[in-house]
Structure 1
Amino acid sequence: MIVGLNSCCITHALRANHVICIGMLKDFWLSPKVNRSKAEGAGSIDAKIQGKDIIITETIVREVLKFEDQPHYPTSFERDKVMKALRKMSYEGDYPTVLKKLFPSYWRPLVHVFLPCISENKGVLDQLNQIQTSAMVALVNNWNCNFSTFVSENMKRMLENPK
């Protein structure tokens, strides 16, 4: 699993040791708004940090996290393709509802870290939805996947539907 993660398209985001300024992070989360009129309809997150305007778009996510994805890559995959990948991972449950506990013990740490780090899940941390499952199997199988859209849309959903 480690060898695969070291060669995947989001390796930089997984391994980089970024300096995080807690004050700036708190300042950012005081003012964010989703602006769906920008970025060709995909929208952006507009906020202020120390009085400066900050705009986060899918392109910014791609550049800053150094995802090696492309805007035309898919964010979800056909049911049969995902099911085949899940079976290859020895998943014992049904799809589309995917439960962490039904993966073999060697895959559970990945699911355990993947859910809170790269998705908007805050309450249910044992269940993956269809898009999250697609992203995870794409990561495991090194498929072309638009992780930048996945991350930016999750951020927007967190702002639009706070839990």
Structure 2
Amino acid sequence: MRVGRPIPAPVRPVCDDCGNIAQLAQTGDSAYPYLEDHGPVWICVPCQAWIGVRPRSRQHAPLGRLANAELRDAKKRLHDALEPLVAAKMRRDGANPFEARGKAIKWLASELNFTLSTPSVHALTREQCEQAIRYVADFQAARQRSSKHAPDAGRKKDASGDGL
């Protein structure tokens, strides 16, 4: 009999596409999707949907939802769209990239009314990624227009100027 805190049951993600329970794959396994070692991943082999594992997680907790090729592409495009905002936050406030990206995701989630368990792109659906990409593009276009028409366009904006 175990005494002390109960050990939580391991999380086994379910594929959003087919409903199968994902299997844990590591470097060298036939199902492992990468040529190099990127750490363990949860993978749905029939759908080729996978997600990484949280660092130092004893229970191999997934980083978010399983991502098929479309969702992985949408997440990559969202990261690319956020990169100028993240870089500006790092320059302006001296934030590290992880903190700046987390704040950017929190800002997007609040602006678009997304409910996220963690401030990470990993938790978003493809539709949410697409909506966020459009929002960031519109936000940056509006900033460009306002900086061209503002009389003090050459001055730096304060912390409230970028929404982050």
Higher helix content, 1 or 2: 1
Q: Same fold (TM over 0.5)?
A: no
Rg comparison, structure with higher value: 2
The TM-score normalised by the length of structure 2 is: 0.26
Higher relative contact order (CA 8 A, sep 6+): 1
